[in-house]
Amino acid sequence: MSTIRDIAAVLRVDAATLLGRDARPADAVARSADIARVRGALSAYAVVRDRPTPKVSVDWLVRQVGYVWTAYQHARYPQVVELLPRLLSDVDRAGARDPVAGRVAVVEAYRVTAALLVKLDETDLAWLAADRAVAAAKGDPVLVAAAAVQLGQVLRAFAWTRSVLLAAAYRVAPPELATGSAEELSLCGALLVQAGLVAARSGDERATGELLDEAAEMAVRVGDGLDHHRTAFGPTAVELARCAVAVELGDGREAVARHRLAVRREGWRSLPVEHRAAHLVNAARAYLQADDPANAARVLLDAEMVAPYEVRRRPAGRDVLAQVARDPKAPAAIGELALSLGLV
C-alpha cells in the first residue's frame, strides 16, 4: 500500500487510479443517487395530484413506518432510501384524508427521513423533513417532542439556537422527576442531550455540562435497553454524548477515556446498531485527536464490520476513514478500504 501511494505521488494521480476502473468511488455516486431519490419524494406533493390511488389503512402505515425505522436503526440505509418515496407518498395521502388518525404515521415518516438526511449530510433537506414532522405534530406535546429530536440533529449541524429544543423538552417533562414515566423522561432527556450537543458546537461548555447532567438524572430513572420513541435514551446514550462533546471541544484524551468506559457498560450492546456505529466513527476522531492512529483504525474497522454503510456512505465516516488512511502508521487494512472507496 505504501508503494502504491509513493508511485501515485510521483505520477501526481490518485492512488485509486493505479488499482484500475473498479476502484472508482462508486459509493459517492450511489450516495448522490440516494439523495436525489429522497429529494424527489419530498418534492412530489402527492396529495395535490388528481390521480386516484388505493386507500391504505393507517394501521398498515404505522407498521410500515416501524419497519423503515428498524431498517434505519440497523444502518441499512440503502433499504431505507428504497422504501421512503412510497412511504412518504402514502403518509401524505393518509394525513390529508384523516389528519388525526394519520398524524403518528406522518410524524414518524418525516422523522426517519430527517434522521437519514442528517446521516447523508444533507442538512437543508433534513431541516425540511424535520419541519414537516413538527408541523404535523402540532397540538400534541409528545409528538412535538419526538419530532424535535430530529430537529435537534439538524440544529446541531448548523450550531443554531437550542431554545426550541428546551421548550419542547420542558413541555413534555413531568412536574417532578420521580413521577415521570419512562416515555416522558426519554423524550425530555433526549432533547436535553441534543440541546447539550448544540451548546457544545457553539462552544458553550458550561451550558453543555448542565444540560447533560440534567439528562443523566433522567437517564438513571429510565435505564438502558429501552428505545422509547426511537430515542435509545438511557445512561449509556448520555455517556456517548459526553464523549461526542469532548471530541467537539477538541479534547481527544478525555473523549478516548469516556469511550473506553462507555463500551464496557452493559447498555452498550442494547443500543441500536446505527447508534453504536456512529459512536465508533466519533471514537476514531477522538483517537486521531489523541495521536493514536492505530486505535482510530481499529474502532473504524469495528464500525465498518457492524454497519458498513456508516463508514462507506456516510460523509462523516468517509472523512475520518480518509484521515486515518493518510497516516503512515495506519494499518494496511484501512489503506485498502480507503483505496477501494477512492479516498486516498
pLDDT per residue over 51-63, tens digit each?
555 677 888 999 9
Task: Give the burial class of 234: count Cβ atoms within 10 A of its Cβ; 0-12 exposed, 13-18 middle, 19 or more buried.
Answer: buried
Distance, CA of 328 to CA of 40 (rounded, Å): 42
Does residue 340 or residue 115 have the better pLDDT? 115
What would the mean pLDDT of 61-85 be, rounded to a whole number?
A: 94
CB 151 within 8 A of CB 165: yes
| Res 47 pLDDT > 70 | no
% of the chain at pLDDT higher than 70? 88
**What 3-state DSSP class applies to 227?**
coil
Interatomic CA distance for residues 101 and 63, integer angstroms: 14
pLDDT for 22 equals: 46
Segment (H or E) for 133: helix 123-137
Q: What percent of the chain has pLDDT over 90?
A: 66
Write out pLDDT tens, residues 104-136.
Answer: 999 999 999 999 999 999 999 999 999 999 999
Per the CB < 8 A criterion, the answer to whether 237 and 222 are in contact is no
Do the Cβ atoms of 191 and 148 come closer than 8 Å?
A: yes
Domain boundaries, the chain: 41-47+55-138, 158-257, 272-344
Q: Which string of b and e fits 245-282 if b means at least 16 CB within 10 Å?
A: bbbbbebbebbbebbeebbebebbebbbbbbbbbbbbb
Whole-number average pLDDT of the chain: 88
d(CA 48, CA 240): 43
Report which listed range, 4-18, 164-178, 291-305, is most confident. 291-305
| Tens-place pLDDT, residues 253-285 | 999 999 999 999 999 999 999 999 999 999 999
Q: Look at the block and give the residue holding cell 396529495.
A: 47
For Cα atoms 318, 314, 331, give the angle at the middle one, nearest 5 degrees. Answer: 30
Q: Using an 8 Å Cβ cutoff, are 169 and 145 in contact?
A: yes
More confident site: 68 or 331: 68
